[in-house]
Amino acid sequence: MTMFLQFKSQVSQVLTSALEANGLEITDLSFEESIHADIASSVAFRLAPVCRKSPKDIAEMLAGSIELPKDGLIDRVETAGPYLNFFANPTFLDRTVSAIRTQGPDYGAQTGRGKVILEHTSANPNGPLHVGHIRNSIIGDTLARILKRAGYDVETQYYINDMGRQIAIVSWALEHFDFDTEKKTDHAIADIYIKANKVLNDEPDKVAEIDELMQRIEHGDPDVAERFKHAVDLSMDGVKHTLERMNVHHDSFAWESTYVRNSDVSTTIDRIKDTGRAVVDDGALMVDLTDYGFEKKLVIQRSDGTSLYTTRDLAYHLWKAGHCDRMIDVLGADHKLISGQLKAVLNALGEKEPEIVIFEFVSLPEGSMSTRRGKFISTDELLDQIDAQALVEVEKRRPDTDDEFKHNVANFVGIGAVRYDVVKVSPEKSTVFDWREALDFEKQGAPFIQYSHARACSIMANAEESGIDMAALEHDISVLVEDQEIELIKYLARFPVVIESAASDLKPHHLATYARELADSFNQFYRYVPVLNAEAPLRDSRLVLVDCARTVLAIVLDTLGIYAPKNM
RNA sequence: GGGCGCAUGGCCAAGCCUGGAUAUGGCAGCAGCCUCCUAAGCUGAAGAUCGAGGGUUCGAAUCCCUCUGCGCCCGCCA
């Protein structure tokens, strides 16, 4: 158990005993986080009606009968009006520092919690990733990293929609328009996809050609399959490159067409028919989900016999259900309804359901983005602009360094800034993309956290240069008495709790918030507490603390998918 | 017409699930700090009827209801 939870459990025990001593019993101890204490309890409010006394009197009465165990982690309890404020003792601080030193990069890591298949990004291969897609990628990738640290065996998957209507259009477009071989392939695909949509819109008779392609792919025409694959590859090559640039990783790629070819789709349809929920309407096959609260039926087969995205997605989820303990899908807000229907069908089939993480849309100041209409800002363009702007910032701050250093720093600062800006916002908030804001390397974004890490590294490098062996240092917690030192250790102690809650709530932005607070705490320590100029015994303990802060900052940054620099 | 989500200083966010102490940060603007481990840092002052109205409660940014505004969605697209 983590240090903080041990502390909390001890507080819980002493408080319960104090309640018993006064003949009181209550299940909710009303713990809360507070700036006034390490753990606070407002239980006195709750007891007021029972005791017929003021909350303030009850708090004092309870505080008076609290007995602290000698070898525990609690330093003292204080009352502040109706509140009971508990504080951690030096043992707590000492064990936190020791745990970080011993565990190093494994601090806050658990193991053996089962297999998770986490699907994210899964953008259609009809063009490059745009700035809306990266919200999916960054939330998904960060979540995967958090779950790994929380002890899950995570496999991230990108589901490639390689047989949808838009791929038929791309494939058709490749035969009718010139493909710009000078451009990055995903961008060139978008160009002809936009053109094709315009033509299909102006000349509706050509739509029949798309319908024919759809028929042929459904029936396994090898020539059409080859053409589709070529189109998808061109798009995916570019997409993969963009993801790599952002340090977003997928362990595997699942191809939609697989589930048609291996007959999983027809098996799925049969299984749904067996539930007795399938009805035929105008020649199309639909599922009745009214008992799940869905008014309209879900179409799973067109009247021409071809399957739909939903059907293939169901087959895909059935496959996933058989290969993991938990499925997690990161999806855009437009998938809310369909993912609910998907869960309902899986439930009706008696199968595991995915946990859905929904994020709201990113729009442009002039309106929503659309690949089809060519209204989007590509992620590549954003990354290029960010990189250029980051270089300007490095030039300004480190003019004395060489070009390689500057470009290197600009790169990790830029990527970090993008990832942090996206992940720090809670997913249910819709956002508007703004160039001025995107290129503003505001304080307390990723560079702020990276900088804190670099500062910690710098202190350690200087120490080692002067002949100090970091690994051999001993620490004495009793000499670390400054507020900034104690605050910093308390923040370090919270890390495992933050990972656990981010993992269980599937909320990566909690980690982003923590990262900023930790960096903040370290920067205050850095400003007020001299390390290398301190007297030897004190200096050694402070160096150990710097090492711990560096370790945790590095873990946090890594879990956010952001590079932790030694120098910047 | 129905469903889901969002609304917090001039701007952008956290907090809301699980009600509790002067609502937490950043940006912009104001006033300061490098003879001291990297100033991408630190400090201070200023700035908020937490969309509106009602309700529950000893107590509401947080829970419930109504309304307004914005985004997304509502059977053979994905």
CA–C1' A333–B71 (A): 9
Please write the tens of the pLDDT for every residue from A309-333. 999 999 999 999 999 999 999 999 9
**Both tokens of residue A380?**
């590549």
What is the C-alpha separation between A216 and A210, in angstroms, rounded? 10
What is the C-alpha separation between A156 and A140, in angstroms, rounded? 8
Share of chain A above pLDDT 70, in %: 100
pTM: 0.96
Q: What DSSP state is assigned to residue A375?
A: B
Nucleotide at minimal C1' distance from the A409 CA = B40
8 Å CB contact between A442 and A389: no
Paired strand residues for A355:
A328
CA A216 to chain CA centroid, nearest Å: 39
- Read off the pLDDT band of A334 (50, 70, 90): very high
Nucleotide at minimal C1' distance from the A309 CA = B78
Pairing of strands A284-287, A278-281: antiparallel
- Read off the pLDDT band of A427 (50, 70, 90): very high
Predicted pLDDT at A499: 97
Nearest protein residue, CA measured to C1' of B5: A428
Paired strand residues for A77:
A86
Walk across the sheet containing A278-281 and list its strands.
A278-281, A284-287, A298-301
CA–C1' A525–B40 (A): 17
CA–C1' A339–B74 (A): 13
The whole-chain average pLDDT of chain A stands at 95
Helices (H), A355-482: 379-397, 403-423, 435-438, 446-465
Best CA proximity match to A264, nearest among A225, A212, A228, A318: A318
Nucleotide at minimal C1' distance from the A459 CA = B37
Best CA proximity match to A512, nearest among A441, A461, A413, A445: A445
- Read off the pLDDT band of A90 (50, 70, 90): very high
CA–C1' A513–B46 (A): 26
Pairing of strands A74-80, A39-41: unpaired
Predicted pLDDT at A1: 77
Nucleotide at minimal C1' distance from the A166 CA = B78
What is the C-alpha separation between A255 and A270, in angstroms, rounded? 21
Paired strand residues for A80:
A83
CA–C1' A359–B39 (A): 37
Question: How many degrees, rounded to 5, is the angle at CA A554 between CA A549 and CA A555?
Answer: 100
CA–C1' A295–B1 (A): 14
Q: What DSSP state is assigned to residue A34?
A: -
Cα distances from A482 to residues A98, A435, A510, in angstroms, run: 19, 42, 28
Q: What DSSP state is assigned to residue A82?
A: T
Q: Which chain B nucleotides are covered by protein, judged by CB under 7 A?
A: 3-7, 12-15, 17-18, 20-22, 25-28, 36-43, 58-59, 70-78
**Tokens 């990108």, residue located:** A158
8 Å CB contact between A97 and A475: yes
Nearest protein residue, CA measured to C1' of B70: A430
CA–C1' A343–B2 (A): 21
In this predicted structure, the answer to whether residue A232 has a pLDDT above a threshold of 80 is: yes
Pairing of strands A31-32, A39-41: antiparallel
Q: Is A379 helix (H, G, I), strand (E, B) or coil?
A: helix
Please write the tens of the pLDDT for every residue from A129-157. 999 999 999 999 999 999 999 999 999 99
